[in-house]
Structure 1
């Protein structure tokens, strides 16, 4: 991994009067520490880390994320993200647009997504537009289903 080049190597190592010169290391290869869930981290210069709305936090307005949005708090407004996880303590009041949605908490509003997963204690009150849906036993949806 590290290389050291030496131009002038003394012929007699016991001769202390000769100076030794080493060129500085010009190339070092390092491996990434973590992949952050991506299979090939080398192809991603800056992996997108999840955005987190923590329990006890309330956000009012429009929130947009290019990656994963993990909601344990409350969002009142419009949510747009690549992937959304609403934890059991999470609540979204408003519109939700995403490729993948996992609801373990509550959504009061419309959901527009490709893939929807409803957990056993989840509640959704609003229209759902989807490509695929999975509802675990105990999950509740009150509203219209619209298959894309």
Structure 2
């Protein structure tokens, strides 16, 4: 159920909520702490103030946006993903949407059917800095993973 890399992730302090394989949620989820998804969520997933961590397991599916600081995806997301701290796309991850990140790890086999958007590159453009500087930041932001 967990890959080696996924099990090394450090969850945030606080309660952990599990959406089991046989559960389907209709509507938006706002949470703090840890959220593990094995089932289906048809709605947006949003972290409230404070540290938050979401893990989408290989059987999990989300149809909607995910806006959480730390994200691990090993299931399917149909919507945009926004991570302000760290995102890991594990080997069975499929994202049908754009991935907005500041630090990203992609394991061999992960799929993104959309754009990878470096968050600090967007901020540089909005601050009036040149697009060349933003492109340099974007090209240096991917952390290589050895298999």
Q: CA RMSD in A?
A: 1.4
User: Which of 1 and 2 has greater Rg?
Assistant: 1
Match of 2:76 among 106, 122, 140: 106
Extract unaligned runs of 5+ from structure 1. Answer: 1-36, 39-46
The question of 1:55 aligning with 2:21 is answered yes
Deviation at 1:48, TM superposition (A): 2.1
Q: TM-score, normalized by length of structure 2? A: 0.68
The question of 1:121 aligning with 2:71 is answered no
Q: TM-score, normalized by length of structure 1? A: 0.67
Q: Distance in 2 between matches of 1:140 and 1:86?
A: 14
Match of 2:43 among 47, 56, 77: 77
Bigger proportion of residues as helix: 2
Question: What is the aligned residue count?
Answer: 104
Q: Distance in 2 between matches of 1:116 and 1:76?
A: 21
Moved over 2 A (4+): none
Bigger proportion of residues as strand: 1
